[in-house]
Amino acid sequence: MKLFNTINILSASDKQLIEISKRGLLSLSLQEMKVIQQYFKSKKRNPTDCELETIAQTWSEHCKHKTLTAKVKIKIKKGKKVFIKKYDNVLKETIFYATKKINHPDCLSVFEDNAGIVKFTNKYAVAVKVETHNHPSALEPYGGAATGIGGVIRDIVGCGLGAKPIANTDVFCFGDLEYKKELPQGVFHPRRIFNGVVSGVRDYGNRMGIPTVNGSIVFDNGFLFNPLVYCGCVGIIPINKINKTVKPNQYIVLVGGKTGRDGIHGATFSSAALHNKLPTSVVQIGDPITEKMFLDVILKARDLGLYTAITDCGAGGLSSACGELTKDCGAKIYLEKVPLKYKGLLPWEIWLSESQERMVLIMDKHKTQKFLQLCSLEDVEATIIGETTNSKKLEVFYDGTKVCELDTEFLYYGVPKLSFNLSYTLANLKHKNVVITEPLEKLVKKVISSSNVASKEWVIRQYDHEVQAGTIIKPLCGRSNEMYSPQDAAVIYPISIEDIDDKQKAISISCGIKPSLSRIDVVKMTEYVIDEAIRNNICVGTKLEKIFLLDNFCWGELNKTNLAKLYLSCETAKNVAIKYGTPFISGKDSLNNYYLLRNKKVSIPETLLITAVGVIEDINNIKTAYFKHPDNYVFLLGKFSYSLGGSTLSECLKIKNLKPPELNINTAIKVYKFINNYNHYILSAHDVSDGGVITTISEMCFANNLGIEINLNTQKLVEFLFSEPPSCILVEIPQDKKNMFEQLLNKEKIPYIVLGQLKPQPLINIISKGKNKLKLSVEEIYKLWTSSVTG
Amino acid sequence: MTPTSIILRVGGTNCDKETVVALKSVGFKTLLVHINQLLKKEVKLQEFDLLVIPGGFSFGDYISAGKVFAVEIYYKLRKELEKFVLDKNKYILGICNGFQVLVKLGLLPKISFVQQVTLTENDSGRFECRWVYLKVNKNNPSVLSKLPDIIELPIAHAEGKFVAKEKVLQEIVENNCIIFQYCDKNGVVSSNYPLNPNGSMLNIAGITDTSGRIIGLMPHPERFIIKNQYPVYENVKNPYGKQFFELIKKKIQKIY
């Protein structure tokens, strides 16, 4: 077997360089190829396939975030005004800047490790990571989603010296399940993707014994060709185990599954367009039990102090895991030692393979024997595959032959910087009145049964959301086998971590996503999703100053307009996060989500997922989102704007270009802090989001099968019931505390509306200006709400 | 005397930690071991009062749930287990995947080491995670018959449908081997989905052997030991899962 090929780039023309990149699925630009050419000119030799592949993986958009860290100048036009924004490194000056500026004392490790880590108790911290696995899920929904969840779990196991995963989150965007038109060859129907993805997450998450507790599903035909699959994982780690150290002369040990040809080029493929000629070998194959087995062993070894660094084999496989861990010292890797699934892999294939369920650990030589014994006791495969050096070189061998030698300085810091000069005109929609003539009852039924509002019970119940016994706010709450109310955030009480030092604390997890808004205004979309993620956490009783954010940008084709939108979204995210005082602790971007349809590029709507994670001081103060007792009063807190822009109703009725409601952050902060401070008055809380106030009320009625009489005094009943303004929350207040609560609201100048009083009869009765406007049976609404989304 | 329990895990077991927490919360001494530790004789089964096989997906459950784990025990631990089972002072509890293991090992409903009944794919064809009402059989020989008439616990499984031949079923009923049946909130046993979440024959959720020392059930008592785990806000005084483990403890202590 020929161990490597050299690729002639020293004498290659620009055209040939582009051709080399294209032929090898390397996704390297001409500018990058030229820098590589220059490097090898200085070395007076051509690169091996292994070297070129290593550089391509390390410099891939997936690993390096070149677009987000670019140097950018944007001319922003707003009406007649023009602003210029300049960045040397967008990510550093927006998202990272917000975190730095907020300077939250609980942030222990942000944007440096595989996950963001924040303080939980004095002894333990919470680690969180959210990833995307979009391209693989489009090609092979089951395998793509399963390995997505498997990958993000390994990020948690591989952060610090290893965290124990305690919860998963999953957010999906699909095309319309009822899509009737013909799809191009190779594109799966949304229902097939939906079923495959849900099964993939179910089979992997359930087998790992990690509860899937939070999520969201967006149905929108913008995702017909490029579905989005976000997978998140939350873990718990001792605070004294969050730092890795790597020194020369330690062993590099590979733990877990064997290596095969699956998933080669996963990292570079994720930066390319989807089309119907891609090989499916770019998608990996998942095996959750192998992962569960090494998880058990690694946590034991961590507590015994047997290793000093760990990371997972994700995109780029061993090349990325070994390279990343040893970039400050250097390493020698012996590929013939890597256990293989089958014979015949070339060295570069072993080096690049993204076979799943593998971790790379660095350990002192004298502790290695004990570590290997521990693994063998639990039938976990572990192999010494190399050692760290002080050469500042990444050297890779196969049976004594060197197949790769790269300076770590060049590999990790040599990638040329992107630079863009852009301009963008901000959306400037005027408020316009719409006349909706359909009867109110029909509108309610349409909205409540629309796929974005309807219950996701069919999906939720397939996930074991209670394993580990800590899910104290479940995705659906209610009595056994009766009606359920959906909840704003999941709350995890880590009961199975026995030596926890504070037995009152819990973790809240929620998210915000609204891609349809970015069709109107990407700035509004960004503001909305951050606010939504935060207010979902506020609803369960988390304090505003204990909320941390994760950003996941999924963008389409990177043309100039979309790039400008991306940077604008980053800038907005920075401003909103700073105002709320909620730092970003981790993030990821997935760009190039577009499909080549007869040479036309079809992009997804710009989508930002915000995941909010909060620390709750006392589990006995948490709030759920369903009404508790008849006679209690229901208040709407927050500044309500009567505008149907971006609402589910406007989508159902296909009314376009309406101005979405404004977010007033100062008022929002006042409302959230008020809810935090007067938590003891509140019996239940639920935010106004998809489907508007009428949906919020209905969902709150379900679990205890209660009714409500709503008395309003408005001309704009339709706008009131269906607008989706940010930062509005409905709360239930005991009857005897109603007056006191109102006085407090007035005193603190919180905008509010008294909606009405709860009734034992399960009827939603809406009276406006003394006239009966609508009477709906809660059970009937529940039936509509639960029957539209199934596989 | 503090009762002792051994919790047995293999690759894919995943409810072990919370089962340990639940056992400890009622005063058990616990030891969580990997099956290889038993095989290497690092630990002796006979030293414990209670053997617990917790929930999970042992070895992935790819063939049929619990099957590989059962075979592993049958061929490698049979002698030790037989001794344990025949000792009238010893108890075995199988929860969810553990129940599947006990059934496939042939320990339920009779101790025969030959499989007599099975737990197979839910009628819905899907994994189901939800809370259920359970009717407690007051005539069952095990200590669990002292639980309240109707209890609530969560289930989470894809293969929980109890299936047996007519004759075996008849014996199960005659010997009062049934301990839990799916029912509605008034305690009326029901085969309606989702009251019966999997389509089990006779709506069976849990059984014991004729001595009441070997207990297998699909629901998860370890997931309801504090009031906050209940899916709706209510001031639960004594969570059913906690009562469940407390009774087993008292039985071992011969308080009952």
Give the SS3 label for residue A477. strand
For residue A288, give the chain B residue with the closest CA: B60
Interval A711-723 mean pLDDT: 93
Q: Tell me the domains of chain B and their CATH numbers.
A: 4-252 (3.40.50.880)
Q: Is B222 annotated as catalytic?
A: yes
Q: Does the pLDDT at position A280 exceed 60?
A: no
Q: Is the peptide bond before A630 cis (omega within 30 degrees of 0)?
A: no
Question: Which residues numbered 91-110 in B keep a CB inside 8 Å of some CB on A?
Answer: none
% of chain A at pLDDT higher than 70: 97
pLDDT band of residue A19 (cuts 50, 70, 90) is: very high
CA-CA distance, B105 to B108, in Å (whole number)?
8
CATH number of A625-791: 3.90.650.10
Catalytic residue among B96, B159, B177, B183: B96
pLDDT band of residue A264 (cuts 50, 70, 90) is: confident
Residue A655: phi, psi to the nearest 5?
-95, 120
The number of beta carbons lying within 10 Å of the beta carbon of residue A388 is 22
For residue B225, give the chain A residue with the closest CA: A469
CA-CA distance, B59 to B64, in Å (whole number)?
10
Interchain pair A461, B129: CB under 8 A: yes
For residue A620, give the chain B residue with the closest CA: B228
Q: Give the number of A-B residue pairs with CB atoms closer than 8 Å.
A: 126
ipTM: 0.96
A289 touches chain B (CB under 8 A): yes
pLDDT band of residue A92 (cuts 50, 70, 90) is: very high
Say what the pLDDT of residue A281 is.
61
Question: Which residues numbered 367-396 in A keep a CB inside 8 Å of some CB on B?
Answer: 377-379
Residues forming beta bridges with residue A128, ordered by sequence position: A116, A234
Chain A residue numbers touching B11 (CB-CB < 8 A): 289-290, 292-293, 296, 378-379
B60 touches chain A (CB under 8 A): yes
* Mean model confidence pLDDT for chain A: 94
Buried b / exposed e across A537-576, counting CB within 10 Å, b at 16+? bbbbbbbbebbbbbbbbbbbbbeebbbbbbbbbbbbbbbb
Looking up tokens 């192999």 gives A383
Element (H, E) at B34: strand B29-34
CA-CA distance, A514 to A144, in Å (whole number)?
23
For residue A460, the distance in angstroms to the closest alpha carbon of chain B comes to 8
Substitution target in A166, A212, A255, A289 with the highest count of B β-carbons within 10 Å is: A289
Question: Which residues numbered 153-172 in B keep a CB inside 8 Å of some CB on A?
Answer: 154, 156
pLDDT in tens, A400-432: 999 999 999 999 999 999 999 999 999 888 878
Interchain pair A703, B55: CB under 8 A: no
Interval A546-557 mean pLDDT: 97
Interval B68-79 mean pLDDT: 95
- Is residue A158 within 8 Å of A310, Cβ to Cβ? yes
Q: Does the pLDDT at position A267 exceed 70?
A: no
Say what the pLDDT of residue A314 is.
85
- Is residue A232 within 8 Å of A168, Cβ to Cβ? yes
Residue B2: phi, psi to the nearest 5?
-85, 120
* Mean model confidence pLDDT for chain B: 96
A114 touches chain B (CB under 8 A): no
Within 13 Å and on the Cβ side, how many CA atoms surround B113? 13
Option in B20, B21, B129 nearest A466 (CB): B129
Question: Which residues numbered 689-728 in A keep a CB inside 8 Å of some CB on B?
Answer: 703-704
Residue closest to A256 by CA, chosen among A200, A312, A316, A206: A312
Interval A670-679 mean pLDDT: 97
pLDDT in tens, A344-401: 999 999 999 988 999 999 999 999 999 999 999 999 999 999 999 999 999 999 999 9
- Following DSSP, what letter does each residue of A329-380 receive, concatenated? T-EEEEGGGS-BSSS---HHHHHH---SSEEEEEE-HHHHHHHHHHHHHTT-
Option in B132, B156, B223 nearest A481 (CB): B132
For residue B158, give the chain A residue with the closest CA: A462
pLDDT band of residue A269 (cuts 50, 70, 90) is: low
Burial class, A154, CB count within 10 angstroms (exposed 0-12 / middle 13-18 / buried 19+):
buried
For residue A213, give the chain B residue with the closest CA: B129
Option in B56, B225, B232 nearest A703 (CB): B232
Residues of A marked as catalytic? 62, 133
For residue B88, the distance in angstroms to the closest alpha carbon of chain A comes to 32
Q: Does the pLDDT at position A70 exceed 60?
A: yes
Q: Does the pLDDT at position A272 exceed 80?
A: no
- Is residue A245 within 8 Å of A113, Cβ to Cβ? no
Joined together, the tokens standing for residue A622 give: 């948490």
pLDDT in tens, A175-207: 999 999 999 988 999 999 999 999 999 999 999
Element (H, E) at A422: strand A419-425
